Structure 1
Amino acid sequence: MNDRNAWQSAWTPPGPPDGQPAATAQALLGLAKALIGDAPVTEAELQLLQTVPACDDAAQLTALTQDIRAGQDPLGALFCRLFHATTRRPEGQTFTPEPVVRGMVNWALRQGRPVTRLVDPGAGSGRYTLAGLRAFPDAEAVAVEKDPLVALLLRANLAAAGLSHRATVLVGDYRELSLAPSAGPTLFIGNPPYVRHHDISPGWKTWYAYCLAHAGLKGSQLAGLHLHFFLKTRQLVAPGDFGVFVTAAEWMDVNYGQALRDMLTDGLGGTEIYGVAPELQVFEDAMVSAAITCFAPGPSTGGTPGTTHRPSGAAAAALPAPAPLRFQSIQAPEELLTLPPGREVARETARQERKWSMLLRGGRPPRQPGQMELGELFQVSRGQVTGLNRVWVHSSAAPALPEAYLVPAITDAADISTAPGQEIRSLDRLRRVVCLPRDPAPLPAAHRRAIDTFLEWAREQGAQDGYIARHRKPWWHVHLREPAPIVMTYMGRRPPAFALNAAGARLINVAHGLYPRQPLTDAQLRRLVQWLNANVSIEAGRVYAGGLTKFEPSEAMRILLPRDLLE
C-alpha cells in the first residue's frame, strides 16, 4: 500500500451526490429507526426515536443493509461526518478504522480460546461487537455504550447484520457494569474512550482512586478515562479471560500511566504491547499515537481487586517464572492486520522501567561509567499554565494595563529555538504575561480601574470558566515562577532546543525551566547548553501522531550527559 494512511478511509462514505441534500442527524436517526424496527430499546433511546419518522426508502435501506452485512459501518461513518471531532472529543467518541479492528480480532483468534462471551466497553456503533460475533460464532456479546444516539446506531448495525439475538446492548457507563459468571472465556475487546481528566467528574476520580487503593495500587487522578476502563476491566476479568484494547499510547510513559503499567505486570496479566508508529495515525480525529494492549490474567492474578495472591517459600519456588511481556513496534499498515510477536521482556524488567516506550525500542541504553543524569544537576519544571493564553499573554486586542502588571516571559518555543547564540540576552523582544495581584484594593484608583476593565474583557473571553481558572484563587491570579537559568522547548518535530536565560525571562507552559540543584557558574551553564543542543536525541522523548515529540520533565531529567562536562 503506497499511501500509508489510505487504510484510514475504509469506513468513510463519500459525500452526497451533486444536487442532493446533505445528510442530517434526523436522517441518520430515521435510518436507524427503520433498521431496528420494533425491537425493545431503553427510555433514553425511545425519546430520540419518537422525534423522527422511520426512513421509508426501501432501496436505500437495502443498500445500507448490504453494506453492513459486508462488514462496513456506513452509519458510524456518517455519524462522524455529521458531528465534528471537536464535538465528539469530550465524550471520547473516536471510532476505530477497520484494519485495526480486524487485526485485534485476528489476535484474539490466534489465542485459540473458545470464546463464549465478548465484552465491548465504549462500543460506539459496534465495530468490535459485530466483528467479534462474526469471528466467534458461539459467543454472545455485551456491548456498553453511554450515548443513546450511538447506541441506536449499534442496534441498527446488529439488526441489519442479523446478530441482534446474540448481543445485549447496555446504555450506560462501563464503570457501572456487572457481569454474571460465564461458562467459558470472556474476550474483552475494544477502544476505551479517550477523555482527559479535566472532563471527568470529581466523583469518578474518587472512584478511581478508591478502587486502585483497594487493589493495592497507586494512581493519579490525572488519569484519563481509558485508564478507568482498564481498572474496571481488571475488576471484571476472571482467570481464563483475555482481552485486547487500543488506546492512546501516552500511558506507557506518563506518571499517571504507572497504575496501568502496574496492572499489566500484576493483576491484569499483560501479554503483548504494540506501539503504533506515529505515521500510522490510528485515531484520525486525535493527534495521539496508539498502543494496542493485550492481557490474559492467570490463575494467580485474579481480576477482583485485592485478590492477587503471591505464594512464598517452597510454594513460590515450585511455581514457574512469570511469562515475559512482549513489546513490538508497528511500522507498516499490514502489521496492524497481523500484530506480529514482539521481543520478550522479563516481567520484572518491565515492572522496574517507568518509560515503556524504551522497551519498544529494545530497552534503555545502559548508563556508562562517567555519565550522570541531567536530573542530578537540575530540577526540570514546566512553565506556568495560564489557563487561556490568548487572554493572559497580553496583546493589542486586550485593554491596556500598567507596565507593573505585564511581565516579560517566554511565550513561544521560538523564543528559545531562535535565540541568537543559544542565549536569551534581552527581554525587549518577548511578549508580556498579565500578572495581577490577588487583592487590587490597596492599589491606586487608576490601576484598579484599568484592572477592572481588563477583567471585564477577560470574562467576556471566558477566562474565568476554564479548568485552571476554576481551580485558581482568585481566578485572575497568574503566578510566574522565578526565572530558570536554562530553558528548553519540549514539543516539536526536532530535538528540544536549550538556551541560556541570561536576561532572566519568566516562563509559561510552552517550555521547561532547568533549576540547578547546586551552584553553577555561567561558564558551566553555557557549556551545558552547548552540549545539550548538540547531543540530545529526539529518541529520548515521547513521539505522538504526526511526528511530534514531547519531553516531559521526568524524561528531560533522565537525559544522560558526561560527568566531566562541568570540570
Structure 2
Amino acid sequence: MSSMLENEADLGIKPDFGVKSHDIGHRKKIGAFYTPLSVSTALSNWGIRLPTDLVLEPCFGGCTFLEAAVARLRGLGNTTPEANLYGCDIDPLAFSYLRTRVKPATIAGHFFQQDFLDYSPGQCSAGKMDLVIGNPPYIRHSNFSAKQKETAAQTINAAGVSLHGKANLWAYFVVHALQFLKPGGRLALVLPGSFLYADYSAAIRQLIRSKFERVMAFTLAERLFLTEGTEETTVILLAEGFGKLALSDRVMVQCLESTKELTSLMDNWPVDINVQEVAYPGHGLVPADVGKLHQSLASLPDMHSLSDLASVRIGLVTGDTPYFVKSRSEWRRHKIENCHLKYIMPLSQYVSGIAISLDDCRHHTKDDVRCMALWTPSAPRNKLLVEYLSTYPKDKKDKNSTFRRRPIWHQFRDAHGTPDAFFVFMTDLGPRIILNSAEVNSTNSMYRVYFHDEVTTTQMKLIALSMYTTFTQLAAEIIGHPRGSGALKLEPSSALKLTLFLPKNRSLTDINVAFNMVNERLRQGDAAGARLCADAFLFNDAELAAALPVLHSGLQTVRSRRIR
C-alpha cells in the first residue's frame, strides 16, 4: 500500500466540512466519532514528552489528535513537528482534513489510506512509536465486512489473545496498537464505556495491564459524543511504560466530571497509583466505598437475586412497531375494526406505577395512547384488513429478518403467554417491576417477568416494593450500563442478578398498604418519595437502616454522573 499523499503535486484542496461529506450517518457507518480538540490536546500533552517523540494515530478522521500533536511538539521546540507523525484511515475524506492540518511537504510516506488492522509497523519509516494516540472506531462485530473479520482474527492470533465473538472493532485496534510501540512507549486512547464492563473487554484489560508499567482509566461523566449519535459513555485509557514491570496488578479507575477536570489531571501527572481506588469495578461511575458497602449488605439474610424468584424474557418482537401498534384513532383512519386489535402495554412513560390495571388500559385507550396492537388471524379475510397488510412494501418485508423467521409475517405472538409482571429496563430513574393485574402483554419496549410457581401474589408485591428501594436501585446502577443519553439499561441477564431484600416478617396488610402507597407516589410523579417509602417499610432493622444514608448519597452521586 503506497502512501495516500506520496507524490501528489497539489495537496492544497480545501475540504468540504458540510453534511454531504461527513454527516452522522456516514461517520456511524465507518465507526468514526470525532474527538473534541480539548480532549485531543489533553491526551497529546500527556503522551508527548520530548520534541523527538514519534506519534501514530491509527484512524485520524477529523485530525484533532494530529492537530494537537503538532502544537505539542512545536511547544517542546520541534520546528518540523509534522515529520514526527504517522497514521492511516480508511476514509478518503479524512485526507481532506489532513491536508489542512499537516504541512504537505513533510508527510509523504507517513499516512496511508487503509484499515489499521492491515497496517504494519514496517510501514512506519522511522520504526516503532513513542505514542499511539486516538479514538478507535466503534463498529459491532455483526457489521464487520468479510475482510475485517479476517484481519481481526489475524490480529488476535498474532497477539495470542482470545476475544469473544461479539467484540467491537475498537478492541482489535487496541490489541494491534501494541505492535507499534517501542520499549517505554505510551498509549492514550478514547474508548467506549464498554472497555470497563463488556465481557470481551476483560481480555483487553488484562493484556494492557500485563504490558505496561502504569495503567489508568478515567470515566468521563461529561457526554462527549451525544451529538454524534452514539449512546456510549466515554473512557480515557492512559498507559505508560510499555514493556516495563507493572506497578500494580489492576487498572486504576477514576470518574472525572468533565474534560476540564481531565485537563487538570493531565497537567499534574503523575498521579499516585497507590491511592485507594475511587471507582467501584464496572463502568466507573459508582464510588468505591459505596460499591463495597453494597456488596457487604448483599450477603445479609433475606437477600435474594431476582433469578431465585422469576425468569425474565424480552417482550413481543413486532419487527416494525409503528406499523403494528397504533392509537385507537389511528386505526380508525385505517378503518381497522376492533376485533382485529388487542391492547398491548404502551411505553413505560404511560405506566408510572408498579401495577397495571384494567382501568389503566381503558384510560390509555381513551387518551389515544399508542397501545392497540394489530392482532391478525392466520388467513385474513376481512377486506380492509387485507388491504392494510398489502400496504407493507414487499422489498421492505423481504429484507426484514424478523418477518422472514415467522410462519406468518404479520403475527408476532409467541408461546410464552401472559406475563406476571413487566420490567422497565431502560430509564433515567432506574428499573421498575410492574405487576400485571390487567393480564396484558407487551412489545420489547419492556421485559416480561414470569414468577416461579411458588411465588404468591403477596410476595410479588413485596418484590415490586423491594425493586424500588435505594439498595436495589443502586444494585441496578452497579450492574447496568449507562447510555450516552443518560438512561440506564439492563440486559435480561443483568436484571436477574439484581439483589432484593425480602424480609419474612412483614404482614399481608402492611405489604398491601406499603405497595399502594409506593404505587400512588409513583403515579403522582414523586419517584424520590416512592423510594423513601419503600426504604422505610423494608429497611428498618439496625444494620440496614444505618447504611441507608451512604447508599442514598451514593445513588445520588452515580445518577448525577449518569444523567447529564
Q: Normalising to structure 2: TM-score of the pair?
A: 0.69
Tell me the alpha carbon deviations over residues 411-434 of structure 1, each in whole angstroms, 9 at most, x when there is no partner. Answer: 411243x24x63444655472344
Indicate conservation of the 8 Å contact 1:265/1:347, yes or no: no
Cα distance in 2 between the residues matched to 1:468 and 1:207? 30
**Cα distance change on mapping 1:205 and 1:517 into 2, 3 Å:** farther
State the partner residue of 2:561: none
Matched, 1:154 2:98: yes
Indicate conservation of the 8 Å contact 1:270/1:297, yes or no: yes
Matched, 1:422 2:373: no
1:192 to 129, 136, 149: 136
In the TM superposition, what is the alpha-carbon distance from 1:251 to its structure 2 partner?
4.0
State the partner residue of 1:355: 282
Which secondary structure does the structure 1 equivalent of 2:228 belong to? coil
In the TM superposition, what is the alpha-carbon distance from 1:558 to its structure 2 partner?
3.2
The equivalences for 1:247-258 within 5 A come to: 247-258=191-202
Matched, 1:128 2:55: no
1:523 to 439, 455, 458: 458
State the partner residue of 2:46: 107
State the partner residue of 1:281: 224
Cα distance in 1 between the residues matched to 2:246 and 2:262? 32
- In structure 2, the gaps of 5 or more residues are 366-370, 507-564
**Segment drifting more, 195-204 vs 325-334:** 195-204
Indicate conservation of the 8 Å contact 1:237/1:297, yes or no: no
**Cα distance change on mapping 1:198 and 1:489 into 2, 3 Å:** same
In the TM superposition, what is the alpha-carbon distance from 1:468 to its structure 2 partner?
5.0
1:245 to 167, 186, 189: 189
The equivalences for 1:397-546 within 5 A come to: 406-416=341-351, 418-419=352-353, 422-425=355-358, 427-428=361-362, 429=364, 431-434=371-374, 440=378, 443=379, 446=381, 453-459=387-393, 462=396, 464-465=398-399, 476=410, 478-480=412-414, 481-517=416-452, 519-535=454-470, 536-537=472-473, 539-540=477-478, 541-546=480-485
State the partner residue of 1:219: 164
State the partner residue of 2:27: 88
State the partner residue of 1:72: none
1:168 to 110, 130, 153: 110
Matched, 1:557 2:496: yes
Indicate conservation of the 8 Å contact 1:115/1:187, yes or no: no
**Segment drifting more, 229-238 vs 496-505:** 229-238
Cα distance in 1 between the residues matched to 2:326 and 2:384? 14
Cα distance in 1 between the residues matched to 2:133 and 2:152? 21
Cα distance in 2 between the residues matched to 1:400 and 1:202? 47
In the TM superposition, what is the alpha-carbon distance from 1:191 to its structure 2 partner?
1.2
Matched, 1:40 2:7: yes
**Cα distance change on mapping 1:436 and 1:377 into 2, 3 Å:** same
Indicate conservation of the 8 Å contact 2:132/2:188, yes or no: yes
Tell me the alpha carbon deviations over residues 387-407 of structure 1, each in whole angstroms, 9 at most, x when there is no partner. Answer: 432123245268566767655
Cα distance in 2 between the residues matched to 1:327 and 1:343? 12
Cα distance in 1 between the residues matched to 2:254 and 2:502? 34
In the TM superposition, what is the alpha-carbon distance from 1:499 to its structure 2 partner?
1.1
In the TM superposition, what is the alpha-carbon distance from 1:488 to its structure 2 partner?
2.2
**Cα distance change on mapping 1:500 and 1:141 into 2, 3 Å:** same
Which secondary structure does the structure 1 equivalent of 2:296 belong to? coil
Q: How many residues align?
A: 469
In the TM superposition, what is the alpha-carbon distance from 1:173 to its structure 2 partner?
1.7
Cα distance in 1 between the residues matched to 2:141 and 2:135? 17
Indicate conservation of the 8 Å contact 2:219/2:283, yes or no: no
- In structure 1, the gaps of 5 or more residues are 1-37, 56-60, 62-74, 301-318
Indicate conservation of the 8 Å contact 1:325/1:346, yes or no: no
Aligned Cα RMSD in Å? 4.3
Indicate conservation of the 8 Å contact 1:145/1:172, yes or no: yes
Cα distance in 2 between the residues matched to 1:275 and 1:451? 52
**Cα distance change on mapping 1:412 and 1:533 into 2, 3 Å:** same
Tell me the alpha carbon deviations over residues 444-467 of structure 1, each in whole angstroms, 9 at most, x when there is no partner. Answer: 6x15x6665344322279455456
Indicate conservation of the 8 Å contact 1:117/1:185, yes or no: yes
Cα distance in 2 between the residues matched to 1:565 and 1:210? 56
Which secondary structure does the structure 2 equivalent of 1:357 belong to? coil
**Segment drifting more, 519-528 vs 491-500:** 491-500
Which secondary structure does the structure 2 equivalent of 1:367 belong to? helix
State the partner residue of 1:17: none
Give the AA of the match of 1:530. L
Cα distance in 1 between the residues matched to 2:37 and 2:185? 24
Tell me the alpha carbon deviations over residues 58-91 of structure 1, each in whole angstroms, 9 at most, x when there is no partner. Answer: xxx8xxxxxxxxxxxxx58x34696442443222
Cα distance in 1 between the residues matched to 2:440 and 2:146? 36
Matched, 1:294 2:238: yes
In the TM superposition, what is the alpha-carbon distance from 1:274 to its structure 2 partner?
0.8
**Cα distance change on mapping 1:154 and 1:543 into 2, 3 Å:** same
In the TM superposition, what is the alpha-carbon distance from 1:171 to its structure 2 partner?
1.1
Indicate conservation of the 8 Å contact 1:425/1:502, yes or no: yes
Tell me the alpha carbon deviations over residues 504-552 of structure 1, each in whole angstroms, 9 at most, x when there is no partner. Answer: 3222222223333562101000111122224343644433334323233
Q: Percent identity?
A: 19
Matched, 1:327 2:264: no
State the partner residue of 1:314: none
Cα distance in 1 between the residues matched to 2:264 and 2:407? 52
Q: Normalising to structure 1: TM-score of the pair?
A: 0.69
Indicate conservation of the 8 Å contact 2:211/2:243, yes or no: no
Cα distance in 2 between the residues matched to 1:531 and 1:268? 44
Indicate conservation of the 8 Å contact 1:383/1:513, yes or no: yes
Cα distance in 1 between the residues matched to 2:132 and 2:473? 38
Which secondary structure does the structure 1 equivalent of 2:237 belong to? strand
**Cα distance change on mapping 1:455 and 1:114 into 2, 3 Å:** farther
